[in-house]
Structure 1
Amino acid sequence: MILEDRQDKDLAFMLKFENVAWYEDGKVRILDRRIYPIRTEFVVCKSHKEVAQAIKDMVTQSEGPYTAAAMGMALATYEIKNETDPEKIVAYLEDAAYTLSHARPTTAEQMKGIVNGAVKAAKEAVSKGVIGDALVDVIFKYAYDYENNNYRRYTVIGHNLAKMIPDNGTIMTQCFAGTVVGTMLRECRKMNKNIKLFCAETRPYYQGARLTASVACDMGFDVTVISDNMPAYTMKTKNVDLFTSASDVITMDGHVVNKVGTFQMAMAAHYYGIPYYCTGTPDPAHPDMSSVVIEERDPAQVIESLGQKTTMDGVKGYYPAFDCTPPEFVTGIVTDKGVYKPEDVHKYIEGDSEC
């Protein structure tokens, strides 16, 4: 299958399509972001359930789980390729869609849109008599188009965010904003903005240190890693111009759910008069925070570092994966339609242009 118009051109190694999550020959290969760049290894999944487990186990993060879920649907289609009964094919894919979308609770609603889109594409193809390997090709093409179009959309978001950064400015990031980091840096280069980045390390997975910093370094930008207790002091002493993060959920009333620690960084930015721009899109499935489930992960990960225990036996850990930043600490939500004030983010769904 010839795949054209690739939107990953000039992006870092870990943002290339094949290095995020990729279906081929009855397997899905996922770059293990838990250990990159210390080691460059891939987790190979031979069933859609293994893909769901990889998502749950944080093999991939940021935009990666969504791509993995889409590619997982192609793998599920491969698993059922010898079935000829259309109803059984669709039922199997619907079950796979549920398994993949519910691998992690906080992002289940966003995941549903992607995997249910694959089911819809399969239904349309099956209704025309497409089954077997031909159906696998259809769902892989759906997954590829999803990823490629997502990169195209994030290029617009990256451009809109890059416009907010002063020439030769300094920004601070939280966690790993995935594709938008790469596209924002690519757009900065086009604008001749040779920016500097300060990346909070983002324990316990160190996404900021290992992923965001790696993308920036790979693309030739000046990047410095700080520990998670240094952002406020660094904002002041290093003249940070802008704080930015991605989002796992943006509610329709302007709350931002993102990697735990975002809230305190947003408060520090607010105190120093530094704008905080969050990237993402509001989710109609979450009108407010009452519908958001904050995932709590294995507390043992807090009392270790990269597999090495750091506390005395008997010490407990606590690991909420996300926190919520209220609208009053958010300067703007950067989307593919423009930049919205958090209180106006509902206009994104209503079709209004940027505020």
Structure 2
Amino acid sequence: MIRADKDLAFMLQYENVAWYEEGKVSILDRRIYPTKVEFVICKHHSEVAQAITDMVTQSAGPYLAAGMGMALAAYECKNMSKNEQLEYLKKAAYTLSHARPTTAARMEIITKKCYEEAVQALENGKETDQSIFLHTLEEINNKYLRIGEVAKYLVDMFPDKGTVLTQCFGETIVGLMLKEAKLRKKDIKIMCAETRPYFQGARLTASVAYDQGFDVTVVTDNMIAYAMKNGLIDLFTSAADAISLDGHVVNKVGTYQIAILCKHFGIPYFATGIPDKSHEDINSVHIEMRDGDFVLQAMGVRTAMEGVKGLYPSFDITPPELVSGIVTNKGIYSAYDLNRYYK
């Protein structure tokens, strides 16, 4: 297999996202990266699910972690009878896919495929954990290749010389769009919104861009209007945790307000991702509310007085009228015409 993570940043290498080996799953702890490079070691699939819930990995990381978690679950039950193994894996699939509610529909697709791989392995007398691991590795490689196509269409929209603003951490698309921009010799600078309260933009996106040789600037989340007004941003792009077929983009909270500013200042906003068949309209999307206390601190240091309350919706919803285009592996679509992707 030719690995599609070649020449990408450290944290986008498969082994550094989530990796199954010898009865355990290691996951790069993105909560502390790049200040520290540490891995959370999971010895049970429920620990993988908890790591996903606790944001040890995020963006596209949980999708790889879920597959590796299924391989671990197969290892846990390998001495059971065939029927017992399948029942065990069904429960594990539910646990892993529902670790975070907003992405449950996408995660279910991954765990279902892993379960089907286990069924085939049992029928053919193969080791289920290794079969799921190899399947997961092939799936992530194919995903990187598919997102590489997305990157080509996205970079078509980049100016030859200018600054691209990002929001949160778009995982694979970030590394691949930068790789593509470099191949085309585009003179692009990257500006990262810090993305509180986990600072994914400052810690993760900025690290990937810097690792791949780009000029990177971090701005706080309340500096975007200033930067746009003063001509410091030419294009805004983000990934999406979900894209409903009626054109709404669900992404890290803060995306909506940046899209509003783009509309005001005449700056294009391109969201990347595949429209979700499971979300016919935005009403089917559940916005995850996390512990509000987390917004009362910054990287473990409390910033608010005891007794003050915090509000922490993980995502917000950007309506189609604020989206210049949805960039997919088949091309760029109007947010009002996403059903065409499947036709």
TM-score, structure 1 normalization = 0.95
2:295 aligned with 1:302 = yes
The AA in structure 1 aligned to 2:245 is M
Please name the residue that 1:11 is paired with. 8
Please name the residue that 1:287 is paired with. 280
Please name the residue that 2:84 is paired with. 88
Taking the aligned partners of 2:312 and 2:130, their CA distance within structure 1 comes to: 40
Please name the residue that 2:106 is paired with. 110
2:73 aligned with 1:76 = yes
Please name the residue that 2:54 is paired with. 57
The AA in structure 2 aligned to 1:24 is E
Shift of 1:236: 2.2
- Residue from 125, 134, 158 that aligns with 1:141: 134
Taking the aligned partners of 1:182 and 1:87, their CA distance within structure 2 comes to: 42
Q: SS at 2:202's partner residue?
A: helix
Taking the aligned partners of 2:29 and 2:97, their CA distance within structure 1 comes to: 19
Q: SS at 1:319's partner residue?
A: coil
Deviates more, 1:318-327 or 1:155-164: 155-164
Q: Is the 8 A contact 1:194 1:221 kept in 2?
A: no
Shift of 1:128: 2.6
Please name the residue that 1:43 is paired with. 40
The AA in structure 1 aligned to 2:212 is M
Taking the aligned partners of 2:176 and 2:228, their CA distance within structure 1 comes to: 24
Q: SS at 1:59's partner residue?
A: coil
Matches within 5 A, 1:1-355: 4-83=1-80, 85-130=81-126, 134-350=127-343
Taking the aligned partners of 2:325 and 2:229, their CA distance within structure 1 comes to: 21
The AA in structure 2 aligned to 1:125 is A
Q: SS at 1:30's partner residue?
A: strand
* 1:160-209 Cα distance to aligned partner (Å, 9 max, x none): 11111011221101000000000000000110012001100000100000
* 1:75-95 Cα distance to aligned partner (Å, 9 max, x none): 111111122x22111111111
Taking the aligned partners of 1:280 and 1:327, their CA distance within structure 2 comes to: 14
The number of equivalent residue pairs is 343
Taking the aligned partners of 1:238 and 1:200, their CA distance within structure 2 comes to: 16
Q: Is the 8 A contact 1:11 1:186 kept in 2?
A: yes
Shift of 1:127: 2.2
Deviates more, 1:315-324 or 1:118-127: 118-127
Taking the aligned partners of 1:237 and 1:224, their CA distance within structure 2 comes to: 15
Q: Is the 8 A contact 1:250 1:282 kept in 2?
A: yes
The CA RMSD over aligned residues, in Å, is: 0.8
Taking the aligned partners of 1:184 and 1:143, their CA distance within structure 2 comes to: 23
Taking the aligned partners of 1:42 and 1:293, their CA distance within structure 2 comes to: 30
Shift of 1:129: 3.1
Q: Is the 8 A contact 1:62 1:178 kept in 2?
A: yes
Which runs of no fewer than 5 residues in structure 2 stay unpaired? none
Taking the aligned partners of 1:242 and 1:309, their CA distance within structure 2 comes to: 34
Q: SS at 1:44's partner residue?
A: strand
* 1:268-300 Cα distance to aligned partner (Å, 9 max, x none): 001111110000011111111111110000111
Q: Is the 8 A contact 1:27 1:45 kept in 2?
A: yes
Which runs of no fewer than 5 residues in structure 1 stay unpaired? 351-355
The AA in structure 2 aligned to 1:260 is V
